[in-house]
């Protein structure tokens, strides 16, 4: 009998000691009295006012239960804000919220945690919300994006929910409060039912959204409320369409004069609003990667660049944007045949162009290298065309020999290399002897120390600035020579220093 009782006790203890919790359909076994390690680290740094970035919902699980969420809120209220009142400053600069956040934590994090961190003297400069189509109330987003110290705002897969006015609601929407649901079912990309009521929502958790009381809006409806201090705006996979692009450009052109970088990655139906995007007056970087652009879109982009961007330092009538420097078009494989048109238009107008993973084949590749080799007054300093096999070797060599603007040329494949023969690499290394500009060349090849050492020697000379030797013997070249030699000394390469001293002395002596 004694043995049976002990055995039964051990089974009961084993059965009830762990707590099994389902988070996003994944079962997690967690001790009753412990909490996620990542959450412990975050709370400890918050208590000391030493947290630089609040990162939740990306890698590790931070919350096993609602109790964990409330414990974070209590630490912010009782310890962090108290320490903040003493220190009069905060290390916290960045907030990043990801799609792996448990459904029960989404509401409290967005409606309680973030607002508590958006107050003086905390100066949050970067906010990222990657929510995988989780519906979020419009008022909640407005409060977040309007923080005046923001410099970078990154919104990904955001679904905005706006409450309908009484006049907009159908008659069937008028139901008693007792008949409304009080829970929020976190379903990605699907329409939920129920209601959302701030007055009854003391926990801060999102409730369900009734189609009779709420309307789904595009993320563009939030843009007018974005802080004017924002310099980088990313609207990734937010369902932007043609008419949204026109509306977005109108808002940016009217209000956001300090915006310098705009990303519309992974919006697959942008239509033909590229002229509006490229004519925005202050944008320096534009990212249209993974937008499923076709040849017609590529042609429109090339024509828009010719119309709205200045070429070779000259401004003609109708040009609006004198600031755009970088255009990223990576991952648009359907527009491959118009890549030469885009490169031709960009070669004397942009500083950086990225056409990686656009399914560029041999013929198009040769055309691109020929354009880069023969464009007078080329302004491109960086060109990327990853994910392609190098076939146009002669055209590539001509590009290296003739182009004097490129500093960076990226032609490799980060996942599936296409090595070029060593004979080709030796020809490239020999061509680098007469190239005074190119500092970085990334290309797939078989490792050969002799060839790579020779190429690295010329790259290091170019990084030091040996192209100044091609200029006329004037005061500007003389004043810059000392800094070039100082850079060479920092490199620690005796051969580089000797080459510069030898050729520099002969040039200056003449």
Mean pLDDT estimate for the chain? 84
pLDDT at position 249: 95
pLDDT at position 320: 64
Question: CA angle, 277 as apex, 353 and 343 as ends, to 5°?
Answer: 25
Same domain, 399 and 489: no
Does an H or E element contain 246, and which? helix 242-254
Using an 8 Å Cβ cutoff, are 220 and 141 in contact? Answer: no
Residue 201 has pLDDT above 90, yes or no: no
CB neighbourhood size of 193 (10 A) = 13
Question: At a CB cut-off of 8 Å and minimum separation 6, what does 175 contact?
Answer: none
pLDDT digits (tens, 9 = 90+) for 167-195: 777 765 555 444 433 334 344 333 333 33
Residue 102 has pLDDT above 70, yes or no: yes
Same domain, 114 and 126: no
Same domain, 308 and 334: yes
Domain-located, residue 182 = no
Three-state SS at 69: helix
- CATH of residue 433's domain is 3.80.10.10
- From CA 458, how far away is CA 154, in angstroms rounded? 39
Rg (CA), the chain: 29
Cis peptide before 121 (omega within 30 of 0): yes
Q: How many domains does the chain have?
A: 3
Read off the pLDDT band of 314 (50, 70, 90): low
Domain-located, residue 409 = yes
Least confident span in 103-107, 212-216, 257-261, 312-316: 312-316
- From CA 295, how far away is CA 342, in angstroms rounded? 11
Domain-located, residue 508 = yes
Same domain, 372 and 226: yes
Same domain, 382 and 265: yes
Domain-located, residue 273 = yes
**Mean predicted confidence (pLDDT) in 137-149:** 95
Same domain, 349 and 392: yes
Using an 8 Å Cβ cutoff, are 128 and 97 in contact? Answer: yes
pLDDT digits (tens, 9 = 90+) for 219-252: 999 999 999 999 999 999 999 999 999 999 999 9
- From CA 491, how far away is CA 486, in angstroms rounded? 9
**Mean predicted confidence (pLDDT) in 280-296:** 95
Same domain, 416 and 428: yes
Same domain, 445 and 477: no
pLDDT at position 29: 47
Domain-located, residue 313 = yes
Axis crossing angle, helix 449-464 with helix 494-509, rounded to the nearest 10: 50
Of 59, 86, 119, the one marking the end of a domain is 119
Instruction: Tell me how far apart the terminal alpha carbons of the chain are, to the nearest angstrom.
Output: 108
Of 119, 142, 176, the one marking the end of a domain is 119
Range of the domain at 94: 21-119
**Two tokens at 489?**
């000394």
Same domain, 41 and 141: no
Domain-located, residue 6 = no
Of 65, 93, 119, the one marking the end of a domain is 119
Same domain, 444 and 487: no
Domain-located, residue 5 = no
Same domain, 101 and 206: no
Using an 8 Å Cβ cutoff, are 155 and 129 in contact? Answer: yes
Same domain, 360 and 261: yes
Range list of H helices, 48-157? 66-75, 81-87, 103-108, 114-117, 138-145
Domain-located, residue 10 = no
């Amino acid at each position: 009998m004694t043995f049976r009782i002990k055995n039964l006790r051990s089974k009961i203890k084993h059965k009830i000691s762990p707590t099994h919790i389902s988070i996003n359909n994944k079962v997690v076994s967690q001790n009753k009295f412990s909490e996620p390690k990542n959450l412990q680290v975050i709370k400890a740094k918050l208590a000391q006012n030493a947290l630089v970035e609040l990162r939740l919902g990306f890698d590790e699980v931070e919350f096993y239960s609602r109790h964990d969420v409330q414990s974070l809120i209590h630490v912010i209220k009782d310890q962090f804000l108290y320490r903040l009142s003493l220190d009069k400053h905060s290390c916290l600069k960045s907030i990043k919220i990801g799609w792996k956040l448990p459904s029960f934590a989404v509401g409290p994090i967005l409606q309680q945690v973030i607002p508590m961190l958006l107050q003086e003297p905390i100066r949050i400069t970067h906010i990222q919300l990657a929510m995988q189509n989780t519906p979020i109330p419009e008022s909640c987003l407005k409060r977040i994006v309007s923080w005046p110290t923001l410099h970078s705002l990154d919104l990904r897969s955001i679904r905005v929910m706006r409450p309908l006015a009484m006049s907009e609601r159908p008659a069937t929407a008028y139901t008693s409060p007792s008949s409304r649901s009080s829970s929020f079912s976190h379903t990605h990309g699907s329409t939920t039912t129920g209601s959302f009521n701030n007055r009854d929502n003391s926990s801060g958790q999102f409730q369900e959204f009734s189609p009779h009381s709420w309307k789904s809006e595009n993320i563009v409806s939030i843009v007018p409320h974005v802080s004017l201090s924002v310099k980088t705006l990313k609207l990734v996979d937010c369902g932007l369409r043609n008419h949204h692009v026109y509306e977005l450009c109108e808002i940016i052109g009217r209000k956001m004069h300090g915006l310098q970088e705009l990303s519309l990655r992974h919006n697959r139906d942008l239509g033909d609003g590229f002229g509006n995007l490229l004519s925005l007056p202050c944008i320096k970087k534009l990212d249209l990667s993974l937008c499923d652009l076709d040849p017609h879109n590529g042609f429109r982009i090339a024509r828009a660049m010719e119309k709205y961007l200045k070429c070779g330092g000259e401004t003609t009538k109708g040009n609006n944007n004198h600031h755009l420097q970088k255009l990223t078009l990576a991952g648009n494989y359907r527009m491959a045949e118009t890549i030469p048109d885009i490169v031709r238009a960009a070669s004397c107008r942009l500083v950086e162009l990225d056409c990686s993973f656009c399914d560029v084949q041999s013929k198009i590749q040769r055309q691109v290298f020929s354009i880069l080799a023969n464009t007078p007054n080329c302004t491109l300093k960086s060109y990327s065309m990853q994910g392609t096999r190098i076939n146009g070797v002669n055209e590539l060599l001509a590009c290296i020999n003739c182009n004097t603007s490129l500093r960076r040329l990226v032609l490799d494949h980060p996942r599936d290399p296409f090595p070029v023969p060593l004979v080709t690499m030796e020809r490239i290394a020999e061509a680098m002897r007469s190239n005074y500009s190119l500092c970085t060349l990334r290309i797939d090849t078989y490792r050969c120390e002799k060839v790579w050492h020779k190429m690295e020697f010329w790259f290091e000379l170019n990084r030091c600035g040996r192209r100044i030797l091609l200029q006329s013997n004037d005061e500007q070249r003389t004043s810059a020579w000392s800094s070039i030699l100082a850079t060479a000394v920092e490199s620690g390469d005796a051969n580089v220093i000797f080459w510069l001293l030898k050729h520099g002395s002969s040039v200056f002596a003449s």
